[in-house]
Structure 1
Amino acid sequence: MPEPETEDAEIRWGILGAGGIAGKFATDLIRTPGNALAAVGARQGERAAGFAARFGAPRSYGNYRQLVDDPDLDAIYIATTHPGHREQALMAIEADKAVLIEKPVCLNAADAREVFAAAAAARVFAMEAMWMRTNPLIRKAQELVAGSAIGELVSVRAEMGLGLPFDATHRLYDLANGGGALLDLGIYPVTFGWIFLGPPPSVSVTGSLAPTGCDATVAMQWSYPDGRDAQLWCSAPVKAPYRALVVGTEGWIRPEGRFYRPTALTVMIGGLESRIDDPLGSDAGGYGPEIAEVARCLRAGLTESPLIPAADTIAILELLDRARAELGVRYPGE
């Protein structure tokens, strides 16, 4: 993997894919000091060129192989849909490029293990783009819980419902394209529960399927021997607030707005309520912290981030794999 010449060297990024999430990422990337968008690759050359012109990237490529083979890139952000992540990440790793892979990192845990094993063998940095885990307010909430600010942790709740009516042609309902609520939506509540409670020894899963066989709505109950629990819910067709709550014996913490990218934290301790405002500001997309974390790791010579370790990413996908299996959801080729 190319190494920055100095601790302050600019990290040169390539973006693989030119869809909506790529655009949001690029918007924050060019605002993040010490990082530069150097190239973009898409399956159509005109699409890549248009994206590059929009965000000021000096180079564009009409296929992914040319992008990852660009010798003047330090890191590749993989912004495609998850069925392609395994192949694209392995291609970038083979080309000696660090990879930031959009969540979910792969279609299933087996593919994720292969990607992270390849990165470790090549001594190349790899990380899932679970931006929520780098968000300063989420990290503050973790700090408060770890410091027993709300007493002993009792329960975590998180839910998100997209409200997308069933459409067999839409990606979220297409099994061949990794469709379903769990991988696109549920990964957020599950990760939120995980970062506060850790791996659950007991998981109950209920849900419903779309006519195409995808998971449409899924509810999970996590139980721990000491009495702690989590209630986690996601739905593609049902509209619901993207809300979460962390409850302790002496208070609670509530992320305001969408819990994975909160606008503030409300903290209730001993009957007294306080508010912690978003240090990123309202005009920031929220991807800056994960971009900065990748850059920090590359400058430090790390092959994974302590904020989003590969072991956690794989274990969370194993949970989602088991939940899908209980619901009878199986992707082609699995």
Structure 2
Amino acid sequence: MTAFPNSLPAPAHPDPRDAPVLRWGILGPGLIAGHFVAALMKHTGQQVTAVASRTAQRAADFADSYGIAQSYGSYEDLLADDTVDAVYIATPMSEHYAQTVMCVQAGKHALVEKSFMRTAAEAVEVRELARAGDVFVMEAMKTRYIPQVQVIDRLLADGVFGTVDSVVAQYGGVVPFQAGHRVFDPALGGGVLLDIGVYPLSFAYTVLGAFTSVKASGTLAASGVDDSASAVLTTESGARALVETTLRASTPIRASINGSLARVESGEPFHNPSPLSLISADGLRRLDWNDQRYPGRECLAFEASAMARYVADGLTESPVHGLDDSVAIMTLLDEMRRQVGARFTDEL
């Protein structure tokens, strides 16, 4: 029996500034790419040397906004740039497969914004190509690298929870339907599951590992993509995950791990740096943790610095969220979409 700890462990990598430096190129100069670049500039020593878009002016405007030296009107031109070591792919999910393949073929390391691909089949192909090409490829699942999840990793490794019985995770918010918007467009890999539902699902998978049973239900937007989904996922041991995501209502953005000896409750939103509380099973002991130095999407600095460390160490996959993990999560997303009835354009 593991005793309740006297203090919480420290994150494995508390400072993203201590990572080796990569020279980054950006594919897709949109909102999330802007947050990524700003986080790197504020909290790391990473260098952003180039940006590319299908529209030269859009790339040039982005470069001007962030002081990036080079901009390109084609993705191929950026991948031919010798000043780029690694590429951050921040385009819609429909583009991830082709652009990651391009990066691997060009010998560029790739950090691919979540969800990794549209489907598990695409993820499997990318995994095999990346391994054959000996190129580092990683899903930009920021929750695997933020400080409080590093703390949770240590608690799990130390057996502090005892036997984990369940994980509960929610992420929802109201987004009115807009025809053609990327979240609602089946041609762009739209749907709530791939957009934000991947966060609670990934959190549950991180804690419990492989699931043997998935029971999902949800609703569809007018365009045919999923706009809400809930699921109970069960492991071989009988541990369960309850995950919920929606664009139809405002829900808590919280997660908890519930074990025989202790539980963890996150603050909001759990997918960004937020407080957490470790509470003993009898409710008499409690430890609180909080680190708000990297609020909101400033936490994107952690995934970039983690990747830089892995590349410097000669790795070709993340040791905490490798390509097998990304494939497993995409497989779960496929099954949840199937049960809900959601289809992409080429699946109809």
Smaller-chain TM-score bracket: over 0.9
How far apart are the structure 1 equivalents of 2:321 and 2:200?
16
Overall identity of the aligned pairs, in %: 36
**Map of 1:24 onto structure 2:** 35
Q: Calculate the TM-score normalised by the size of structure 2.
A: 0.90
**Map of 2:331 onto structure 1:** 318
Q: Of 255, 261, 275, which aligns to 1:250?
A: 261
- Give the deviation of 1:166 after TM superposition: 2.1
Cα displacement string for residues 275-331 of structure 1 (whole angstroms, at most 9, x for unaligned residues): 111264448710111111111111111111102100000011011111111222221
Q: Give unpaired runs (5+ residues) of structure 1.
A: 1-6
**Map of 1:299 onto structure 2:** 312
Q: Is the 8 A contact 1:75 1:98 kept in 2?
A: yes
**Map of 1:129 onto structure 2:** 140
Q: Is the 8 A contact 2:28 2:90 kept in 1?
A: yes
Q: Of 103, 109, 119, which aligns to 2:120?
A: 109
Cα displacement string for residues 94-117 of structure 1 (whole angstroms, at most 9, x for unaligned residues): 111000000111110111111121
3-state secondary structure, aligned to 1:221: strand
Q: Give unpaired runs (5+ residues) of structure 2.
A: 1-17
Amino acid aligned to 1:129: A
Change (3 A) 1:113 1:247: same
Q: Of 60, 64, 67, which aligns to 2:71?
A: 60
- Does residue 88 in structure 1 map to residue 99 in structure 2? yes
- Does residue 286 in structure 1 map to residue 299 in structure 2? yes
How far apart are the structure 2 equivalents of 1:135 and 1:77?
18
Q: Of 134, 139, 147, which aligns to 2:150?
A: 139
Compare the two structures and name the one with the higher strand fraction: 1
How far apart are the structure 2 equivalents of 1:197 and 1:283?
26
Amino acid aligned to 1:217: S
Amino acid aligned to 1:61: Y
Cα displacement string for residues 218-259 of structure 1 (whole angstroms, at most 9, x for unaligned residues): 111012343321110001122212111111122211121211
**Map of 1:172 onto structure 2:** 183
3-state secondary structure, aligned to 1:184: helix
How far apart are the structure 1 equivalents of 2:196 and 2:249?
12
Cα displacement string for residues 113-135 of structure 1 (whole angstroms, at most 9, x for unaligned residues): 11121111111110000011011
**Map of 1:276 onto structure 2:** 289
Amino acid aligned to 2:51: V
3-state secondary structure, aligned to 1:227: coil
How far apart are the structure 1 equivalents of 2:49 and 2:342?
39
Q: Is the 8 A contact 1:150 1:247 kept in 2?
A: yes
Change (3 A) 1:283 1:222: closer
Amino acid aligned to 2:343: R
Q: Calculate the TM-score normalised by the size of structure 1.
A: 0.94
How far apart are the structure 2 equivalents of 1:60 and 1:218?
39
Change (3 A) 1:225 1:282: closer
3-state secondary structure, aligned to 1:240: coil
- Give the deviation of 1:142 after TM superposition: 2.3
How far apart are the structure 1 equivalents of 2:26 and 2:236?
44
Q: Any residues of structure 2 matched to 1:169-208 within 5 Å, and which?
A: 169-208=180-219
- Does residue 237 in structure 1 map to residue 248 in structure 2? yes
- Give the deviation of 1:178 after TM superposition: 1.1
Change (3 A) 1:95 1:220: same
Q: Is the 8 A contact 1:251 1:267 kept in 2?
A: yes
How far apart are the structure 1 equivalents of 2:307 and 2:298?
17
- Give the deviation of 1:151 after TM superposition: 2.5
Amino acid aligned to 1:167: Q
Change (3 A) 1:197 1:8: closer
